[in-house]
Amino acid sequence: MLTDTLEALRTDLERAIGTVESLDALAEVETKFLGRKGELTNILRQLGELPVEERKAFGQRSNEIKVEAEAWIAAARERLERAVRSAIGETERVDVTEPGTHPTEGHLHIMTQTIREITQIFERIGFYRTRYPEIDWDWYAFESLNMPSDHPARDNWETFFMDAGESKLGKMVLTPHTSNAQGHELERKQFPIRMLNIAKCYRRQSDTTHAPMFHQFEGLYVDRDVNLTHLTGIVKYFVESFFGKTRTFRLRPHHFRFTEPSFEVDVSCGICNATGLTADGQKCRVCKRGWLEIGGCGMTHPNVLKSCNVDPDIYTGLAFGWGIERIAMMKDGINLADIRTLYENDLRFLKQF
């Protein structure tokens, strides 16, 4: 009888383990049949009912069943664990070969790129970057630059004056050029001066070739014995570094109140090679006459030095002030239909540079 119960238990156990579908259920089966209060223990407890001679064989048989059951359980656990792992593999699979999604990446505005390049070029020859005010006193923008308040030369600059009262330095103006930096730097009296001032400028102008806000970079070199060969050397160095050795330049006599002599600098057009004509004999669409103007320069006027209490008998200087929008466009032979496009923030345009 008891032997039948034992064999029936074995059969039930094998079926239960064979059909179990989760690790939790397996643990339950294990406790139910083999646990301390499980069915096998129950049967063994009734051992005393058997005749003595049968007891040994019965004990052995139940041990065999127990060992067998442990092997089934281990196999079932192995099977269920593998199933769990492969389910995770399905739901959490990462395909490392799948192409990623690239976040949109910006880049520096063409003006920032150009400003950095100009700065690097001048730093190589000992210039240091300054940033003087873009809203400044009349005295720095005009008066100290040898332009008295009634001088007609001021008209060229079509200045925006501020509605902010006056001091002994005059009214406040949105600086129409970066030359206001000259007085500030001369006042520091740290010689030699090799200033590179890069800033925004403002003029009352707005058409396809003029924006009311634009950028200039202003150089001022003041020391003992600074002369015209330094000026031409610096212009040559800059033109070759920025535009490349295939481009040349020329200095055209001009007039500025704060330099004497004064010049305008022209750079040969990179598209037509200073001929003004394209290969098929057409007028060059970028320059029209072979040369492109980049801005003014000259030898510092003694009155500028004097107005900042620098002795012109000891110190001489040179200065230049050039447009950044202009040289950026000239570099690549870009003929912008409208210079104001630079500041419209249209990515379709800006992405090209």
Q: How many residues bind ligand PHE (CB under 6 A)?
A: 13
Q: Quick one: which of 319, 327, 329, 342 contacts ligand PHE (CB under 6 A)?
A: 319
Is residue 296 at the binding interface for ligand PHE, with CB under 6 A as the rule? yes
List the structure tokens of 47.
Answer: 């051992």
Binding segment for ligand PHE among 2-10, 38-46, 256-264, 339-347 (CB under 6 A)?
Answer: 256-264
Q: Quick one: which of 10, 177, 247, 257 contacts ligand PHE (CB under 6 A)?
A: 177
Compute the distance between CA of residue 223 and CA of residue 221 in angstroms, rounded to an integer: 7
Q: Count the helices and strands in the chain (H runs, E runs).
A: 11, 10
Binding segment for ligand PHE among 15-23, 36-44, 136-144, 319-327 (CB under 6 A)?
Answer: 319-327
CB 17: neighbour CB atoms within 10 A? 20
Compute the distance between CA of residue 135 and CA of residue 59 in angstroms, rounded to an integer: 105
Residues whose CB falls within 8 Å of the CB of residue 134, separated by 6 or more in sequence, listed in order: 174, 175, 199, 200, 201, 202
Is residue 340 at the binding interface for ligand PHE, with CB under 6 A as the rule? no
List the structure tokens of 306.
Answer: 């004097």
Decide whether 107 or 252 has the Cβ nearer to ligand PHE.
Answer: 252
Is residue 179 at the binding interface for ligand PHE, with CB under 6 A as the rule? yes
Binding segment for ligand PHE among 9-17, 38-46, 229-237, 289-297 (CB under 6 A)?
Answer: 289-297
Binding segment for ligand PHE among 10-18, 52-60, 273-281, 317-325 (CB under 6 A)?
Answer: 317-325
List the structure tokens of 27.
Answer: 């643990």
Contact 170, 139 (CB under 8 A): yes
Q: Quick one: which of 72, 127, 291, 320 contacts ligand PHE (CB under 6 A)?
A: 320
Whether the bond between 192 and the residue before it is cis, its omega within 30 degrees of 0, is: yes
Minimum CB–partner distance for residue 226 and ligand PHE (Å): 13
Q: Quick one: which of 297, 305, 328, 330 contacts ligand PHE (CB under 6 A)?
A: 297
List the structure tokens of 224.
Answer: 């003992």
Compute the distance between CA of residue 345 and CA of residue 351 in angstroms, rounded to an integer: 10
DSSP line for 243-272: H-TT--EEEEEEEETTEEEEEEEEEE-TTT
Contact set for ligand PHE, span 260-279 (CB under 6 A): 262
Would you give the binding string for ligand PHE spanning residues 56-75, x where CB under 6 A is met? --------------------
Is residue 259 at the binding interface for ligand PHE, with CB under 6 A as the rule? yes
Is residue 221 at the binding interface for ligand PHE, with CB under 6 A as the rule? no
Beta-strand (E) ranges in the chain? 128-130, 135-137, 160-167, 170-174, 193-202, 213-223, 249-256, 259-268, 291-300, 316-323
Residues whose CB falls within 8 Å of the CB of residue 213, separated by 6 or more in sequence, listed in order: 200, 201, 202, 343
Minimum CB–partner distance for residue 142 and ligand PHE (Å): 11
Decide whether 268 or 300 has the Cβ nearer to ligand PHE.
Answer: 300
Q: Quick one: which of 33, 243, 249, 256 contacts ligand PHE (CB under 6 A)?
A: 256
Decide whether 13 or 201 has the Cβ nearer to ligand PHE.
Answer: 201
List the structure tokens of 219.
Answer: 């150089």
3-state secondary structure of 344: coil
Compute the distance between CA of residue 254 and CA of residue 245 in angstroms, rounded to an integer: 26
List residues bridging with 299 in a β-sheet: 318
Decide whether 30 or 218 has the Cβ nearer to ligand PHE.
Answer: 218
Is residue 321 at the binding interface for ligand PHE, with CB under 6 A as the rule? yes
Using Cβ positions, the residue closest to ligand PHE within the complex turns out to be: 321
List residues near ligand PHE by CB under 6 A.
177, 179, 218, 256, 259, 262, 295-298, 319-321
